[in-house]
Amino acid sequence: MKVLIADKFEQSGIDGLKAAGCDVVYQPDLKDDTLTQALRESAADVLVVRSTAVTGPMLETGSLSLVVRAGAGYNTIDVATASKRGIYVSNCPGKNAIAVAELAFALLLSLDRRVPDNVADLRAGTWNKKEYSKARGLYGRTLGLLGYGNIGQEMARRAHAFGMPIVVWSRRFATGKDQIADEPIPMQLAASPAEVAERCDVLSVHLALNGETRGLVNASVLDKLKPGSYFINTARAEVIDQGALEIAVRERGIRAGLDVFAGEPSSATGAFSTPIAALPNVYGTHHNGASTDQAQEAIAAETVRIIASYQDTGKVPNVVNLAKKTPATHMLVVRHRDCPGVLAHVFEQLRTGNINVQETENVIFEGAEAAVARINLDGAPPAAVLRAMRGGNADILDLHLVTI
């Protein structure tokens, strides 16, 4: 299996892929047209990327069957085109959660103790203990979390250790998927992002970027923050209404710690200017929340696991673009002798009835003399098709149709 790595990647991951028998092509500077050309010429089966954008034309070039995002978010990959072409998209969720939470908490502590300003004055030869002794402290102050996935949970653990009460808004709890009583960290739930903002002293954003979260943290949310509150974003800039955040910083004394910015350069280095980063109440880092040695080694190991599983079993861990619920409406259950041609006969009859197969599973009984096939279909086969199945092959022992 040929693997093209088009981003910076740990040597341990490259070695692991080679040890798994993969033909590895490591070209970390590929992007745009050069990546499209490399995919065409290399005939790679698997593409590994970090922040490099993977566009529709790239996916339509060459013979890709799997794209691995060596990280958590995958908004830089054209997942819709990948799904249309039957290309798996996989990621490495949770492997950088601790690293991002550590940076988010570093930004929070820096805001409270004004660490960058302390350093700047010391380097400039200024001693100003009087000014920098005005920190509020974090103990007893409420941390508001928007999102409670892997990173949000790591933030909660650190805040709990600092003696901070926690209030959370998350779809995990809103949908009933999880119960707050099962969480090991004491916390309270809020019904909306605006309610979290109203109840907290620090608002920290840990939401994936999608159609529902784009611009979610807008003026109606930020206006609920108490004057002088702290705001942390280590998720995605697009989740925040940048204009509303600038107004909150300028007019209401909100202090912001940001690791992500609108219009970031696509390259690792380069000129960059954004109005919000120049504001005195804003501390920023260079979208490097996940960039610790520990996190990158963990992500490399997970990438190797994903690709090795695909190569050895055909199964892809952490797939993000499979249907969450089968579109099938009926299931055909076929009990049959384990002989050649039985399922071919069944599928041929379904074809004549213009019935599409969505999913198939064939389970073999002990002794390998009989099996049961479960075939999910997009409709109910006509009675004549079912009769032709039953009567057309003596190795079919029984079949029946189930409405899903």
- Cβ pair 323, 335 in contact under 8 A: no
Spatial strand order in the sheet of 230-233: 188-189, 166-169, 143-146, 202-205, 230-233, 255-258, 282-284
Q: Scan for tokens 């611009």, then name that residue.
A: 215
Q: Is 85 annotated in the active site?
A: no
Query: What is the helix (H) or strand (E) element at residue 154, kind and residue range?
Result: helix 150-161
Work out the angle at residue 135's Cα, subtended by the Cα atoms of residues 130 and 140, and round it to the nearest 5 degrees: 155
Between CA 231 and CA 204 the distance in angstroms is 6
Which member of 183, 195, 198, 264 is catalytic? 264
- Grouping H, G, I as helix, E, B as strand and the rest as coil, residue 198 is helix
Which member of 50, 69, 236, 336 is catalytic? 236
Report helix angle 97-113 to 150-161, nearest 10: 40
Count the Cβ atoms, other than its own, within 10 Å of residue 219.
13
Q: Is 264 annotated in the active site?
A: yes
Q: Is 287 annotated in the active site?
A: yes
Which member of 69, 206, 287, 336 is catalytic? 287
Between CA 89 and CA 66 the distance in angstroms is 6
SS (H, E, C) 313-365: HCCCCCECCCCCCCCCCEEEEEEEECCCCHHHHHHHHHHHCCCCEEEEEEEEC
Helix, strand, coil in percent for the chain, rounding step 5: 35, 20, 45
Tokens of 354: 């213009």
Spatial strand order in the sheet of 330-337: 357-364, 370-377, 330-337, 396-403
Q: Which residues are catalytic?
A: 236, 264, 287
